[in-house]
A and B are shown apart, each in its own frame.
Chain A
């Protein structure tokens, strides 16, 4: 995001890559790969394990929904970035804003659960 340079964040030693857009693009994809693999592992591992839980917490459910939304909107944006793929203005705008909004929401909910010490499961 150009705003990292504007507000000197990319000037902080070690964070210069935030102002290099092809680097941030690749980093974004690499972390998406790790996130997708990790989420699939966690869900399947939970389904295959004998662990018994009495349910998922409300904040845990909200976070899971946000992460799913991030993965869906992110996947659509990855498709959009492939050569020869054309989305409408509306679709591009909705994808960008929803991905950004969901990211902000995840940060806020994660901060809330960290402070209030709420876990994912009951």
Chain B
């Protein structure tokens, strides 16, 4: 019986064997994913020409994720210094016209003027689930994680509420609730300020092979979900059919949410601000870091070259 070992299997086997000796299996999984395994992100397409703004997705999201919502303890511990903001949404749980710790998806009304005529749209907005999410990569506490299916989520048990994820997010998506989380057990007056919340794409449903609540409950089939390669192709097909435009495919280096619109996104007029993300063009925010990471491979070579050059010079001088 002959056995053939493919490159992928070989790489996987090599990484696994090395990892079992040297490091944890987690590192092996991560490094082997560099070998471009078959894992493909799930992408959602949101066709805004279909959305009627009924809000069923918002209701479904709130019902599906209610168990994850913050239950802060009051009164909140006094925080130092005075300028640390208290962000409390626990008395405003019913707010649905923006992102909050209790509302991870909202309908953003927009309009565009075409030949003097006003066309109105309603756009479901939530986390874009970036391909290389800055919120996950730059969390100083390690409280955020990306899963191989492309979703990113914040662990409410680990998050300290520093809000760095929101500041590095091009759309300012994560929202903070004070008075909840790990910081209460450490130094509540001096460090931390609650927990950051955002759409986690109903990871508990995806894990069971189910569809996220917002997609499942939309009466107009505004959203569809599927493997990235197929969805990108489908998004362009849809856009082609309506002579339209896509948003999210290349933003921030690529996201796992792609909007399709019959009008250019930069012509859409809507209210932006706190909890109301824009739809601007976004460069790859992690690009500089990734380029420097590649340059890091040269660092040991540069050090070695310098040392050997000095050694060679000394040998020549001795001769």
Residues of A within 8 A of B (CB): 1-3, 6-8, 21-22, 25-26, 29-30, 32-34, 36-42, 44-45, 48-49, 76, 78-97, 100
Contact = CB atoms under 8 A, between A and B. Distances in A.
B285 interface: yes
Contacts of B307: 40-41, 44-45, 48
Interface string B134-161: 0001111111111110000001001000
Contacts of A90: 26
From B139, B148, B253, B296, name the one whose CB has the most chain A CB atoms within 10 angstroms.
Answer: B296
29 contacts: A1-B140, A3-B162, A22-B168, A25-B138, A30-B292, A32-B296, A33-B292, A33-B299, A37-B303, A40-B307, A45-B306, A45-B307, A48-B307, A49-B311, A79-B30, A80-B137, A81-B132, A81-B137, A81-B138, A81-B286, A83-B286, A84-B131, A86-B145, A87-B27, A88-B26, A89-B145, A89-B158, A91-B24, A93-B158
B148 A86 contact: yes
Q: Size range of the interface on B?
A: 35 or more
A2 B164 contact: yes
Contacts of A22: 168, 285, 288-289
Contact of A83 (B27, B131, B164, B288): B131
A82 B293 contact: yes
Contact of B292 (A29, A39, A91, A95): A29
Given A33-B296, A48-B310, A91-B26, 19 more contacts: A2-B140, A6-B83, A8-B81, A26-B288, A36-B300, A37-B299, A41-B304, A41-B307, A44-B307, A49-B311, A83-B290, A86-B33, A87-B26, A87-B27, A87-B145, A88-B29, A88-B145, A89-B158, A92-B145
Interface of B: 24, 26-27, 29-31, 33-34, 36, 81, 83-84, 131-132, 137-148, 155, 158, 162-164, 167-168, 191, 253, 285-286, 288-290, 292-293, 295-296, 298-300, 302-304, 306-308, 310-311, 314
A94 B221 CA distance: 42
B299 A36 contact: yes
From B143, B155, B302, B303, name the one whose CB has the most chain A CB atoms within 10 angstroms.
Answer: B303
From A26, A32, A93, A97, name the one whose CB has the most chain B CB atoms within 10 angstroms.
Answer: A93
A26 B138 CA distance: 11
A37 B141 CA distance: 27
Contacts of B308: 44, 48
A96 B299 contact: no
Given A37-B299, A37-B303, A45 B289 contact: no
Contacts of A41: 303-304, 306-307
Contacts of A97: 142
A4 B181 CA distance: 21
Contacts of B145: 86-89, 92
Contacts of B147: 86
A85 B84 CA distance: 34
B285 A91 contact: no
A85 B34 contact: yes
Nearest to B162: A2
A93 B303 contact: no
A30 B295 CA distance: 9
A80 B191 CA distance: 26
B30 A80 contact: yes
B290 A82 contact: yes
Contacts of B300: 36-37, 40
A23 B84 CA distance: 23
A29 B138 CA distance: 13
Nearest to B318: A50
Given A3-B191, A80-B30, A25 B303 contact: no
A24 to B, nearest CB: 9
A34 to B, nearest CB: 8
B31 to A, nearest CB: 7
